[in-house]
Chains A and B, each alone.
Chain A
Amino acid sequence: MEHRVDEAATTGSFADAAAAIRGDREALRVLWESHRRWAAAILLAYKPREAELDDLLQDVAMTVVSKISGLKEPTAFKPWLRRICINAARAAARGPERSRRRPWPASIGDGGGDWQGLDAEPGQAIAERERAGLVLGTALELPEGYREPLLLRCVRGMSYRRIGRVMGLPETTIETRIARGRRMLRERLAAAGEAEVRAEGSL
């Protein structure tokens, strides 16, 4: 079932990409709107912490509009967009503009957003949000080959097959990397928790 949905979405995506390459603005708009969320997840996986996600995404959008006509194959759209995102994130890491610092926990905990499964009591919800910030911060410390598929998997509708197409890797490799990434995440969080308990005990 998941594969049939993927195939239908992929076929539509290729048709939109082909039309966008030919200069169809509406097709390009549709294409962008169906891919911008995972593009943001890739930026998140690679950008320096202090860089603003929406600024980088605007840079990516600008590049997409100005360069789409040079794309040779519609099937190459997803890896092409991924490469633009990675380049934009790495350029931000090299660039001089590092003034607006906003650490993860503050931005995660400042309200808004669609928090799934966090309909518990307010105090518990806050604790869960704080933990979510810790989980994300820890995930962002993982090696990039693991953190990228791990974050992409958090985007609604991103199956292993779709992630594989974005990253240019077989579905089985994506599954293996996500499984290992989750284990690394679990182990690092456990280690951090134990260190915290030890630190509290030594006070």
Chain B
Amino acid sequence: MNDGADAGTNAMDRDALINRLVDGRASADEWARFERLSETDSALWRDLIQAQRDQAGLVGAVESLIAVADAVDLPMRSEVMVGHRLRMIGSWGGWAAAATIALAWATGAPIFRGTDSDTTQAGFTGSVSPVDMLGEYIRRGQKNGTVVGEVPQKVLLRSAPLADGQGFAVLFERRIVERAVVGDMHVFQYSRDETGRPVPIPVTVRSSSGPF
């Protein structure tokens, strides 16, 4: 690659010169030096062209991939708090914590009131909304493979005009598809007994080639 190079120019100098030309930082003196060197180093022009081509390709590829960064904003305060809470729940691993979350989603009540240190660390104040929590649950579930996603269509259950005439109350269902790995093919399905109470019924699941 470097056959016939100027005796006073070692490989490092040659690299540095090509580097400055590729970056468009070369001075007139450096261009003149390059031309002098190229008279004895037959590979110099070829290496410069190759280096420029590599750089163009690399810039294109890197810019294309890191463009996703423009869509990644800092999480809102509630997401940070939920992340902290979910880690806490994970460490408990208990149904009580899960039940509390379910209750919070159902009632819209804030859960696990943040301590002063939590809010100070995040730099924000306020409470966690059920919508934030549900979004975090979906995002994290998709990340660890336990949530496939939310069905885009919501199911309308009921709507009624508000008493003050300022709009409508709409009850709707959001459906989330989860994925679980089970040890055997027996799972439980909820049914109702003769008095109407919900009871778990063991059912056998057949393997499926469905979308999930």
Chain A positions within 8 Å of B, measured between CB atoms, are 23, 25, 28-29, 32, 36-37, 39-41, 44, 53-55, 57-58, 61-62, 64-70, 97, 99, 107-108, 112-118, 128-129, 131-136, 139, 150-151, 153-156, 175-176, 178-180, 182-183, 185-187, 189-190
Contact = CB atoms under 8 A, between A and B. Distances in A.
B57 A128 contact: yes
Q: What DSSP secondary structure best describes chain A's contact surface?
A: helix
Nearest to B145: A99
A14 to B, nearest CB: 18
Given A69-B121, A185-B54, A114 B64 contact: yes
B33 to A, nearest CB: 15
Give 7 nearest A-B pairs by CB, closest first.
Answer: A113-B64, A132-B57, A179-B19, A154-B62, A40-B66, A136-B61, A40-B69
Interface residues of B, number: 47
B63 A154 contact: yes
Interface of B: 1, 11-12, 15-16, 18-19, 22-23, 47, 50-51, 54-75, 77, 79-80, 83-84, 120-124, 143-145
Contacts of B1: 187
B72 A36 contact: yes
A62 B83 contact: yes
A136 B69 CA distance: 18
A183 B47 CA distance: 9
